[in-house]
Amino acid sequence: MSNLPACPQCTLENTYPDGDKLVCADCGFEWSTEADAGGDDDTVALVRDANGNVLNDGDAVVLIKDLKVKGSSITLKQGSKVKSIRLVSGGDHEVDCKLDAGQFMLKACFLKKV
């Protein structure tokens, strides 16, 4: 049996590690392993949207312009709403989100907080 903790959202024990986070295979909830240990997780820098508002994990945002997806014929349309974002550190894309067309990493300068 695994020594990983149960999911804090759905309380099921079907969890697995993904980098420095733990993921629940049943509900898809992700949480930091350092949060359980009481460590400070200030690795994500302050991220601001196109209007200068500070973005946080779980915020809802809207695309402010059409974005073509590299290597694909998909275009993410202006006005598309993303309900729950996740801020990531490293690289030039600050926001990880899920849209109807799939999961994408976006730059915060193309987003507006709702």
pLDDT tens for each residue of 55-106? 999 999 999 999 999 999 999 999 999 999 999 887 788 899 999 889 999 9
**How many other CB atoms are found less than 10 A from the CB of residue 63?**
20
pLDDT for 20? 82
Q: What one-character-per-residue DSSP string does 34-72 give?
A: HHHHT-----SPPEE-TTSPEE-TT--EEESS-EEPTTS
Residues 56 and 99 placed together within one structural domain of the fold: yes
Residues 27 and 55 placed together within one structural domain of the fold: no
CATH assignment of the domain containing 2: 2.20.25.10
Question: What's the whole-model pTM score?
Answer: 0.58
Amino acid, res. 38 = G
Copy the structure tokens of residue 80: 């598309």
pLDDT for 34? 65
Helix ranges restricted to H, the chain? 33-37
Amino acid, res. 110 = F
Residues 35 and 57 placed together within one structural domain of the fold: no
